[in-house]
């Protein structure tokens, strides 16, 4: 299984620390580049995972494969072009996860590993290789972070991307959902509704990559 046994959970920790730290660091870096110093002032312009981890969100990623980090705070009043800059900042973290996936897949294949199976059951040549299993977790975690964050659900990054395309009248209403974003996300996780959207996309991406 992709998620579950204790060894897999342990091997997932480095992937989790890297994926979340890079994602949030790039949000902070992109915000600084478009004129917003808020994240830098709050000490988020770093790859130190302790700064970015949310305890409950991290536990959820380790155990069920879906979770979150501490969100990077931004102030759109600093943006020179708010409609453009919010998209840049939102996508910056996802770009880091995608690049991690690409590098990890290349290494996975270069080392001779091959993924087989379907659905949520995966196997590969070299299953007993620690390096292979760690690379697999790096791929799975970063694909999961990418897919989850691109969903257009507040407060995920995908909701920020929609800001650039929504009509003005809908923008205010959609933006107001941000204050309830974490509650919405937890309800979707607890009820399992988010997996109805997440799982098919996640599995399809993994199959295409491997």
The residues annotated as belonging to the active site are 24
Q: What is the SS3 assignment for 123?
A: strand
C-alpha dist (Å) from residue 64 to 3, 13, 51, 181, 190:
6, 13, 22, 20, 11
φ, ψ dihedrals at 202, nearest 5°: -60, -50
Distance, CA of 138 to CA of 160 (rounded, Å)? 26
DSSP string of 71-102, one letter each residue: PPP--GGG-SSHHHHHHHHHHHHHHHHHHHHH
CA atoms within 13 A of residue 127's CA, in its CB half-sphere: 9
Q: Which helix (H) or strand (E) holds 22?
A: helix 6-33
φ, ψ dihedrals at 161, nearest 5°: -65, -35
């Amino acid at each position: 299984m992709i998620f579950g046994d204790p060894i897999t959970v342990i091997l997932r920790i480095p992937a989790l620390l890297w994926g979340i730290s890079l994602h949030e660091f790039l949000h902070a870096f992109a915000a600084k580049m478009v004129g917003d110093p808020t994240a830098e002032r709050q000490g988020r312009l770093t790859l130190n995972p302790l700064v970015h981890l949310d305890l409950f969100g991290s536990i959820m990623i380790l155990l069920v494969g879906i979770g979150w980090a501490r969100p990077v705070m931004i102030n759109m009043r600093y943006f020179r072009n708010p409609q453009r800059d919010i998209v840049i900042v939102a996508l910056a973290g996802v770009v880091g996860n995608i690049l991690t996936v690409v590098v990890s897949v290349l290494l996975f294949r270069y080392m001779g590993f091959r993924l087989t199976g379907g659905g949520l059951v995966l196997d590969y040549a070299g299953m007993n290789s620690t390096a292979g299993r760690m690379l697999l977790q790096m791929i799975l975690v970063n694909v999961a972070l990418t897919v989850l964050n691109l969903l257009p659900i507040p407060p995920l990054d995908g909701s920020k991307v929609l800001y650039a395309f929504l009509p003005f009248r809908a923008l205010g209403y959609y933006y107001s959902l941000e204050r309830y974003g974490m509650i919405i996300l937890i309800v979707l996780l607890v009820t399992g509704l988010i997996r109805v959207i997440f799982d098919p996309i996640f599995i399809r991406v993994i199959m295409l990559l491997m």
